[in-house]
């Protein structure tokens, strides 16, 4: 069995390359990688260290040149299965299937964003040749099948992302103070950081708590807008947008409570990472997040659009340490059971074997 993964880049800042790296570590020389947009080459050595073959095709949007090179790789490596995630990769996988029909074609959906009509048209064609689909959550499955009716009758499986505890890498990190809340998120609409600011307006300016602080590690196009709201509520001393951080492991270790208010998260890998760090967690009751956390047992789930609920949940964990401790312990246990890299990779291995051997029509 030889697997070829298609990725746009080596960037380990994204969850999909990280997951692909984990799979390549597991499969070793039974794996290969084709990167079709040559960026973030500083991460390339980590993929090479897996023992799998690594190829680059810096041909931009020239599908013909990509395909020509990919066919050479498939024949040279005797590839049995090609897996991809994104639109360009789906197109390349579709064409590979036409020219090398023996090769199995797998598409993994890593998000639930609404497609454009153009995407719907071409995807409906591409998906006819896909041998199996992988969803990272029940939420993503429901959303994708809503947008693409062809998926309702195709072989598919839900495989939750696997991860491990983020380690302290020894680099400098911002020193958090007081009861420190942490979120790791891009500053974009769906991450819903504004609701945390609104909740802090309640905590600081209405309840008059001066010992609670929020740190958001990440950046994005909404930074100026969020900074304006923070300034409007005079919360500059309490809310800190700290940008991208290289030592996320220490931030998670140092925080008091981990929060994630996204209203449309396809999975949310930062949640299992915080669970493995044995942190009390508050998430939105939206997207895939309720699949990760059991309310009142391994974390708290609140309405993504009600700041008063966020304020109440935050203060309940800060002021009731025995509750926070119990939730954190249960969260770690749940993460080990459901979101380990070992379980994640084993599920992929079983799926690949079933597809390649055609031993089963359901996975």
pLDDT at residue 38, rounded to an integer: 77
Residue 338 burial (C-beta neighbours within 10 Å; 0-12, 13-18, 19+): middle
Helix (H, G, I), strand (E, B) or coil at 121: helix
Structure-token pair, residue 3: 């697997």
Domains of the chain, by residue range, sit at: 3-162+341-357, 179-338
pLDDT at residue 360, rounded to an integer: 41
pLDDT at residue 246, rounded to an integer: 87
Distances (CA, A) of 55 to 23, 41, 47, 335: 16, 12, 10, 34
Residue whose structure tokens are 């990167």: 35
pLDDT at residue 28, rounded to an integer: 98
Percent of residues, the chain, with pLDDT higher than 70:
99
Look up the CATH superfamily of 3-162+341-357. Answer: Glycogen Phosphorylase B; (3.40.50.2000)
pLDDT at residue 363, rounded to an integer: 39
- Whole-model pTM: value is 0.90
For the chain, which ranges sit under pLDDT 70?
359-363
Residue range 334-348, pLDDT digits in tens: 999 999 999 999 999
Q: Encode the chain in three state secondary structure.
A: CCEEEEECCCCCCCHHHHHHHHHHHHHHHHEEEEECCCCCHHHHHHHHCCCCEEEECCCCCCHHHHHHHHHHHHHHHCCCEEEECCHHHHHHHHHHHHHCCCCEEEEEECCCCCCCHHHHHHHHHHHHHCCEEEECCHHHHHHHHHHCHHHHHCCEEECCCCECCCCCCCCCCCCCCCEEEEEECCCCHHHCHHHHHHHHHHHHHCCCCCCEEEEEECCCCCHHHHHHHHHHCCCCCCEEECCCCCCHHHHHHHCCEEEECCCCCCCCCHHHHHHHCCCCEEEECCCCHHHHCCECCCEEEECCCCHHHHHHHHHHHHHCHHHHHHHHHHHHHHHHHHCEHHHHHHHHHHHHHHHHHCCCCCC
* CATH class, range 179-338: alpha beta
């Amino acid at each position: 069995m030889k697997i070829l993964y298609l990725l746009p880049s080596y960037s380990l800042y994204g969850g999909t390359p990280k997951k692909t790296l984990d799979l390549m570590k597991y499969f070793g020389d039974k794996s290969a990688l084709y990167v079709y947009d040559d960026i973030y080459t500083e991460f390339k050595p980590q993929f090479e260290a897996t023992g799998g073959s690594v190829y680059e095709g810096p041909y931009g949007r020239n599908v013909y040149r990509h395909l020509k090179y990919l066919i050479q790789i498939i024949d040279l490596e005797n590839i049995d299965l090609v897996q991809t995630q994104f639109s360009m990769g789906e197109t390349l996988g579709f064409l590979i299937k036409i020219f090398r029909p023996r090769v199995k074609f797998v598409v993994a959906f890593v998000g639930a964003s609404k497609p454009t009509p153009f995407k719907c048209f071409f995807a409906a064609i591409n998906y006819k040749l896909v041998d199996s689909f992988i969803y990272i959550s029940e939420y993503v499955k429901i959303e994708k099948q809503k947008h693409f009716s062809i998926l309702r009758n195709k072989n598919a499986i839900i495989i939750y992302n696997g991860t491990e505890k983020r380690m302290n890498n020894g680099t400098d990190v911002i020193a958090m103070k007081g009861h420190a809340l942490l979120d790791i998120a891009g500053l974009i609409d769906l991450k819903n950081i504004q609701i945390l600011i609104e909740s802090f307006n309640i905590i600081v300016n209405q309840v008059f708590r001066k010992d609670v602080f929020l740190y958001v590690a990440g950046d994005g196009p909404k930074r100026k807008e969020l900074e304006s709201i923070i300034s409007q509520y005079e919360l500059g001393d309490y809310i800190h947008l700290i940008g991208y951080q290289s030592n996320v492991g220490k931030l998670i270790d140092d925080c008091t409570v981990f929060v994630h208010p996204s209203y449309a998260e396809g999975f949310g890998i930062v949640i299992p990472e915080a669970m493995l760090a044995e942190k009390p967690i508050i998430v939105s009751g939206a997207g895939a997040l309720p699949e990760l956390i059991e309310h009142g047992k391994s974390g708290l789930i609140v309405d993504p659009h009600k700041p008063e609920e966020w304020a109440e949940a935050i203060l309940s964990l800060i002021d009731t340490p025995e509750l926070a401790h119990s939730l954190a312990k249960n969260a770690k246990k749940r993460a080990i059971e459901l979101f380990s890299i070992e379980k994640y990779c084993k599920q992929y291995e079983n799926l690949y074997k079933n597809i390649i051997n055609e031993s089963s029509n359901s996975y």
